[in-house]
A and B are shown apart, each in its own frame.
Chain A
Amino acid sequence: MYVAVKGGEQAILNSHKLVAEERRGDAAVPELTLNQIKEQMQLAVDRVMTEGSLYDRDLAALAIKQAQGDLVEAIFLLRAYRTTLTRFGETQPIDTAQMAVRRRVSAAYKDLPGGQILGPSYDYTHRLLDFALAAEEGVGEPEAAVADEAVDDSIPRVTDILNHEGLIEEELAFGDDGPVADLTREPMAFPAERDMRLQNLARGDEGFLLALGYSTQRGFGRNHPFAGEIRLGEVAVEFVPEELGFPIEIGEVTVTECQMINQFAGSAERPPQFTRGYGLAFGHCERKTMAMALVDRALRARELDESIEYPAQDEEFVLYHSDNVEASGFVQHLKLPHYVDFQSELQLIRSLRRRHDEDHREAAE
């Protein structure tokens, strides 16, 4: 045919072959295995599971391999697969107070029941490239020492401690027994309640939430945050089968939880007290959960009678633009042919220019 963009199926198939070849890279280098990705790229796997909304380390590793390490593409792959899965039902809410904690830090108290547990963290690494990791023979089998004493079985959450004094708002369900919103099954409607907002943020792009959370710290919707607590560990997942009528444990998941504590001056109805911002993610996603908690708190402006002036407080702005699968698709759809519309615009511009020229000629005469 007559225009270069008219590719046809052969071009598509050839393009896929090129992708496969590039993905494999130099054949002299051993091919990555899913286990290598799963075990040595855990944080990438965690992000893909979180934003892909599917807790499955194997599939996330596969998606990362298939996407050549492009995490947004991997998230898309996982989402598209998730859509096709059968729903068995809803689990009970996880109880992070019962978490098998591996890391727990609070910026609000120096010491507290359960203690500060630094756990695995990049926080105090010196960001110097570690050339030992580049060595041909690898790093061997590094091992961390085991503490003499076990971590407490059950570590109270900082927010629960504050709650005893009534200094922080209570964490209440919305007062209805209705089902929790699920934006993968029903479209968002506005105003959006907190269940839908939190689900949206949990699936939202880490970079987008990071920038928005940061903007609140810089004054675009200041909300005086303290990192009340960040905890990482394993929690049990329970499910109530219809035929049993009581919960049984069906597995455990690793989650990161962040509870931000924010100052609140009070309103006509509410006394001055601390308010909450909440972040939760699969795996170890600390930056994401902290940013999520900041944005969650900012989005509560309507509920707390605060003025809505900044992007992070604007729920339509945040919720409609947080999803990187949607955003990536729509930004990149601009590379699809638009030549019918462009032709229409060409005609219009030519017509407008003719009129412009005529007007100028008349003005000059």
Chain B
Amino acid sequence: MAMLSSPGGPAGIGPAGIDIADLKPGLGDPVHDSQGIFRILLEAMARPGKVMQFEGGLDAPTPLDVATTAALLTLCDQDTPLWIDWIADTPPLRGYFSFHCGCPLVERSQEAAFALVSDAENMPRLALFAQGVDQYPDRSASLVIQLSSLVEGPATVLRGPGIRDQTVLKAAGLPDWFWNDWRLNAGQFPLGVDVFLTAGRSIVGLPRTVVVEA
């Protein structure tokens, strides 16, 4: 138990037979790195559309980018079921999150507190994730969607809390239906999912309050 002690604590259930030797390391300084990363995530969620950058060193496991990995390592633990999409759902990656976060991995997207999407084109529709309930809208999923770029895609105009007047997001690689689904998501406020879009070292927050222009 002591040897395998992970940041998530011994209660973390990982699949048996994780090969520790092949695992990429997690955060170098769990206390201060996760604090710094969290502040970036907080700024991203509080100012939707603002592209934030991760500076520190992190050896991200294939096929994940630094921003995707940093966000999940900072937020996930034994209390947060994680759903991983089919491309990223490999034994090494499962082992990585089991070991470093101790988070239970779930097959059904509806059961996840966090979802890792590395193949956005083929991701499940937003309604297939936990939306929260009337009295507890916080019981909804947070999605981390990895894209090719956050600055070179088609322009989308965003409004809502956290945005002074309006802002423009240029995310590349979202599925065709995404912004349409997003309108439905925002339309059922206070229910709905919250999203982080990542690319390389960049991250953008899309809380459910974000309204996109038609």
Contacts and interface: CB of A to CB of B under 8 A. Distances in A.
Direct chain A–B contact by Cβ atoms under 8 Å:
yes
A242 B9 contact: no
Interface in A75-90: 86-89
Contacts of A241: 1
A243 interface: yes
B1 A87 contact: no
A87 B11 CA distance: 9
Contacts of A86: 9
Interface in B6-35: 9-11
A88 B5 CA distance: 11
B1 A243 contact: yes
A88 B1 CA distance: 10
Contacts of A89: 10-11
A334 B9 CA distance: 39
A242 B12 CA distance: 11
Contacts of B10: 88-89, 242
Nearest to A88: B10
A242 B68 CA distance: 31
Contacts of B1: 241-243
Contacts of A87: 9, 11
Contacts of A243: 1
Contacts of B9: 86-87
B8 to A, nearest CB: 11
Nearest to B2: A243
Interface in A238-260: 241-243
Nearest to A86: B9
A87 B10 CA distance: 9
Nearest to B3: A243
A238 to B, nearest CB: 16
A27 B10 CA distance: 48
A89 B11 CA distance: 7
Contacts of A88: 10
Nearest to A244: B1
A240 to B, nearest CB: 11
A86 B10 CA distance: 10
A86 B8 CA distance: 11
A241 B9 CA distance: 13
A34 B125 CA distance: 63
A88 B9 CA distance: 8
Contacts of B11: 87, 89
Interface in A207-260: 241-243
A122 B115 CA distance: 60
B14 to A, nearest CB: 11
A89 B9 CA distance: 9
B177 to A, nearest CB: 35
A134 to B, nearest CB: 52
B23 to A, nearest CB: 19
A87 B1 CA distance: 13
A241 B1 CA distance: 8
A243 B9 CA distance: 14
A245 to B, nearest CB: 12
A260 B76 CA distance: 43
Nearest to B9: A87
B197 to A, nearest CB: 30
A354 to B, nearest CB: 40
A250 to B, nearest CB: 13
Nearest to A243: B1
Nearest to B5: A86
Interface in A144-203: none
Interface in A47-93: 86-89
Interface in A294-336: none
A89 B10 CA distance: 8
B105 to A, nearest CB: 18
Nearest to A87: B9
B99 to A, nearest CB: 14
A243 B11 CA distance: 12
A245 B10 CA distance: 14
A242 B78 CA distance: 15
Given A87-B11, A89-B11, A243-B1, 7 more contacts: A86-B9, A87-B9, A88-B10, A89-B10, A241-B1, A242-B1, A242-B10
Interface of B: 1, 9-11
10 contacts: A86-B9, A87-B9, A87-B11, A88-B10, A89-B10, A89-B11, A241-B1, A242-B1, A242-B10, A243-B1
CB-based closest 3 A-B pairs: A242-B1, A243-B1, A241-B1
